[in-house]
Structure 1
Amino acid sequence: MEEAPSALAARYGLSVSGTRPALPEYLRQLWGRRHFIATFAQAKLRAQYSQAKLGRLWQVVTPLLNAAVYYVIFGQLMRTREGVDDFVPFLVTGVFVFTFTQNSVLAGTRAVAGHPGLVRAVHFPRASLPIGFCLMQMQQMLCSLAVLVAIVLVSGEIPHWTWLLAAPTLLLQFVFNTGLAMVLARLGSRVPDLAQLMPFVLRTWMYASGVMYSIGHLAEHNRVPGFVRFLLEANPAAVYIDLMRCALIDSFRASGQSTPYAWAVAAGWALVIGVGGFVYFWKAEETYGRG
């Protein structure tokens, strides 16, 4: 009697190609690809600016130019700098920190959909792609942080022990960014048009994140309803911006404008979105690259 295919597969240790591994095994495979993820991030970072004469300087110049535009429009014309001490470092910090999240989300949206040949041709944990892109953005943020520190010093700030808090702030933001990038990587793999929509969503998110103005000052002087203030202060992008401002800018720290319980909120967002986004992405592992 001829043996069933399933029995033959079990006898010789065969499994269905592309089957989603269990979560612990998936994590083990990801750790085994850590060198690939790091190399992938470096290669993408080099390729991004390979055709530009200024090269990787653009990763710092671009947010600085954005900050200059926002300073003229919001700080000077719309007077959002009123009531905000040290507005230049305040603004540049907001722009740099939000850009970190913005670029991670945009890259994550295209992480799977933008690499169909790689996904279909090579077997590897697909989470390597959004993680690699977020690691690339982390490297860019570290370069931007050096420029940010220089701007803060020029503005008259004196180095303080709180500057060390920039490191855990970036770590929590990286975990949050990676989880959100994984959510959008899965959605983007099924709905390619999402990549066209995200810039508008991110622009709206930026305006609600206190990049160009102080949320505390706005709520205090414009009689913002309580639930609106709660939503603005619980906004994860605003929380990470506030933490970085508190770490680097003495006047912001002393003014008490930061979000209450900011560290707890930041850690909560990192845990919920970081872990939840990873599990959400993993659950569709076997569907990526299958048209």
Structure 2
Amino acid sequence: MSQVLHSPPPTAPAPAPAQADDGDLAALAARHGLTVSGARASLPQYIRELWARRHFIAAFSTAKLTAQYSQAKLGQLWQVMTPLLNAAVYYLIFGVLLQTKRGVPDYVPFLVTGVFIWTFTQSSILAGTRAISGNLGLVRALHFPRAALPISFCLQQLQQLLFSMAALVVILLGFGVPPAASWALAIPALVLQFTFNAGMAMILARLGSRTPDLAQLMPFVLRTWMYASGVMFSIDHILRTHTDLPSWVGTVLQANPTAVYIDLMRFALIDSFHSSQLPPHVWMLATGWALLAGVGGFIYFWKAEETYGRG
């Protein structure tokens, strides 16, 4: 008698495991104290983290400054010689050949002060442009507030300026400019300029992190900016002798932030540079530019914190 084999009845497929939605996962992560890797900290927390690394910022800037001329035989002497040589070239071209020294008393101290203060802003912005794109290894290897990089580069340029200021004092005394109580005004002027420089460096650091070619364009932009900042000539003298210029040109030239900081430093250090040569409300202008660039640049940089070093 043959046996009939019956296949077992088909079983219903097992139901797919239910997938947890994003809300459940977020609640689970929050319950166990987990956070998104690389997430941007809140602004107050970011400021606290940055302050906690202030010693790293100072040490990093000093190390970069020391290493800058480590291969040169004259070493750190180039920190003073470089801006002085630039001032000598500008004096030959603009002061002697183009005669921009006419109507400007104490032209050599006037020119050297302008070159030193302009170089501080120029170098800070150029270094800031490469702060992220030029340090990707450090950015990807370590967790720290990325704003530490552009700020440390600006601090490096401030230290270099202080070396140059020692040479500037010698030049002032050598050309008969006596010490005065107004020299103390150089301190708040430098604080405001440093804040402005740091803000601009952070803005350019964020832009340069996404567009590395920006570093190649910035020297041309800064050169144009320099010619409009009264580094080699007196803006006040130009406006007084060229009365046919539109009024808005004078307003733009005088409100130019680098021109404001240069004129403030000249007013502080050179006794022949009078308050009548300063733009109206100059300290309000200097403070406004520092707050606009410093605070605005910091927030603008912080908003892209989690994107640096990726891609």
Partner of 1:240: 261
* Separation of aligned partners in 1, 2:31 and 2:284: 51
Residue 185 (str. 1) matches residue 193 (str. 2): no
Whether the 8 Å contact between 1:247 and 1:253 is mirrored in structure 2 is: no
Equivalent positions of 1:213-252 (< 5 A) are 213-223=233-243, 224-252=245-273
Query: 1:163 is matched by which residue type in structure 2?
Result: W
What's the offset of the Cα at 1:158? 1.1
Partner of 1:258: 278
Residue 78 (str. 1) matches residue 102 (str. 2): no
Note the residue ranges of structure 1 that are not aligned, 5 or more in a row.
Answer: none
* Separation of aligned partners in 2, 1:287 and 1:230: 39
Equivalent positions of 1:150-165 (< 5 A) are 150-165=170-185
Partner of 1:51: 71
Using the size of structure 1 for normalisation, the TM-score is: 0.98
Equivalent positions of 1:114-125 (< 5 A) are 114-125=134-145
Q: Which secondary structure state, in structure 2, belongs to the residue aligned with residue 251 of structure 1?
A: coil
Partner of 1:5: 25
Q: Which secondary structure state, in structure 2, belongs to the residue aligned with residue 82 of structure 1?
A: coil
Deviations 1:266-288 (A, max 9, x none): 00000111000000000000000
What's the offset of the Cα at 1:2? 8.1
Q: Give the percent of matched residue pairs that are identical in Structure 1 and Structure 2.
A: 68
Q: Which secondary structure state, in structure 1, belongs to the residue aligned with residue 48 of structure 2?
A: helix
Residue 129 (str. 1) matches residue 164 (str. 2): no
* Separation of aligned partners in 1, 2:174 and 2:118: 22
4+ residue runs of structure 1 moved beyond 2 angstroms?
1-8
* Separation of aligned partners in 1, 2:279 and 2:69: 36
What's the offset of the Cα at 1:7? 3.0
Q: Which secondary structure state, in structure 2, belongs to the residue aligned with residue 209 of structure 1?
A: coil
Whether the 8 Å contact between 1:29 and 1:125 is mirrored in structure 2 is: yes
Partner of 2:44: 24
Residue 209 (str. 1) matches residue 229 (str. 2): yes
What's the offset of the Cα at 1:5? 3.4
Q: Which secondary structure state, in structure 1, belongs to the residue aligned with residue 114 of structure 2?
A: helix
Report the count of equivalent residues. 290
* Separation of aligned partners in 1, 2:122 and 2:112: 15
Note the residue ranges of structure 2 that are not aligned, 5 or more in a row.
Answer: 1-17
* Separation of aligned partners in 2, 1:57 and 1:226: 44
What's the offset of the Cα at 1:253? 2.0
Match of 2:290 among 263, 270, 285: 270
Using the size of structure 2 for normalisation, the TM-score is: 0.91
Query: 1:199 is matched by which residue type in structure 2?
Result: P
* Separation of aligned partners in 1, 2:303 and 2:76: 36
Whether the 8 Å contact between 1:60 and 1:143 is mirrored in structure 2 is: yes
